[in-house]
């Protein structure tokens, strides 16, 4: 019970960050589960099932606040789901002793990538003019979705930083659009894990605890 309460708190904190900054739910939650000894595939699967609920709540909240660019969501979502399904399939077929260092390397790389993207702005505030091209969004969705399932997180770190640094979308629209499209990505990844692991291979209690914590704070995170 104590573990589930802790995970609920972690889910709430992770969603507070994710819903307001457009990243961190998957990376934070998966890192904690892997550190606690959960197999990488099971950890990422649990997080993705939790994200089905948290991203739905977050997307609704962002939509009500006018934070969503539905053109971006429509173009990003399907490639993201395809990438997430592929990433889940790859991860479930990797031996545990191989998967753990691979996932650890991806999580560390994502953290360094986020630091690099924001430091690369050099303190400049991007000018939000024009609109993002489809040719940029489709591969972004594929890469972000694949990394999201492989590493348990990646949709936000890749998508949010890339869209923000493109200088074509204002921050609240970036965060809202990434969080909203992540619902479809979470569904794609969850289907891949369900087929690869089976229902018995997923930590449903952990997923539920993360889900409850995230859903509770989703409206506040979107407002922030």
pLDDT at 43: 87
Q: From CA 15, how far away is CA 146, in angstroms rounded?
A: 21
Spatial contact of 30 and 107, defined as CB atoms under 8 Å apart: yes
- What predicted TM-score, i.e. pTM, was given to this entire model? 0.86
Length in residues, the chain: 224
Q: Which of 48, 23, 12, 70 is nearest to 192 (CA)?
A: 48
Angle (CA) 177-179-36 rounded to 5° is 160
pLDDT at 24: 81
pLDDT at 67: 94
pLDDT (tens, 9 = 90+) of the chain, 224 residues, equals 777 888 888 889 889 988 888 888 988 888 888 888 888 888 889 999 999 999 999 999 999 999 999 999 999 999 999 999 999 999 888 887 777 787 778 777 777 877 787 777 665 665 666 688 899 999 999 999 998 888 888 898 888 888 887 778 888 899 999 999 999 999 999 999 999 888 887 889 989 999 999 999 999 999 98
| Cα distances (angstroms) measured from residue 45 to each of 74, 87, 132, 133 | 24, 11, 31, 31
pLDDT at 122: 63
Angle (CA) 120-123-124 rounded to 5° is 90
What's the pLDDT tens digit per position in 74-109?
999 999 999 999 999 998 888 877 777 877 787 777
What's the pLDDT tens digit per position in 177-199?
999 999 999 999 999 999 988 88
Q: From CA 133, how far away is CA 213, in angstroms rounded?
A: 35
């Amino acid at each position: 019970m104590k573990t589930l309460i802790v995970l609920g708190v972690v889910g709430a904190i992770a969603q507070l960050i994710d819903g307001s900054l457009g990243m961190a739910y998957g990376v934070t939650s998966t890192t904690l589960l892997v550190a606690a000894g959960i197999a990488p595939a099971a950890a990422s699967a649990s997080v993705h099932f939790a994200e089905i609920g948290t991203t739905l709540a977050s997307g609704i909240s962002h939509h009500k606040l006018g934070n969503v660019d539905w053109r971006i969501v429509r173009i990003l979502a399907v490639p993201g789901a395809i990438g997430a399904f592929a990433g889940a399939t790859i991860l479930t077929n990797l031996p545990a002793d191989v998967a753990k260092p691979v996932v650890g390397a991806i999580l560390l790389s994502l953290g360094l990538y986020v630091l690099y993207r924001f430091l690369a702005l050099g303190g400049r505030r991007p000018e939000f003019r024009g609109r993002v091209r489809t040719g940029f969004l489709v591969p972004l969705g594929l890469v972000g979705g694949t990394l999201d399932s492989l590493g348990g997180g990646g949709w936000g770190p890749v998508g949010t930083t890339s869209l923000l640094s493109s200088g074509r979308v204002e921050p609240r629209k970036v965060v809202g659009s990434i969080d909203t499209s992540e619902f479809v990505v979470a569904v794609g990844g969850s289907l891949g894990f369900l087929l690869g692991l089976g229902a018995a291979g997923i930590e449903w209690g952990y997923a539920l605890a993360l889900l409850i914590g995230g859903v509770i704070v989703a409206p506040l995170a979107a407002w922030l």
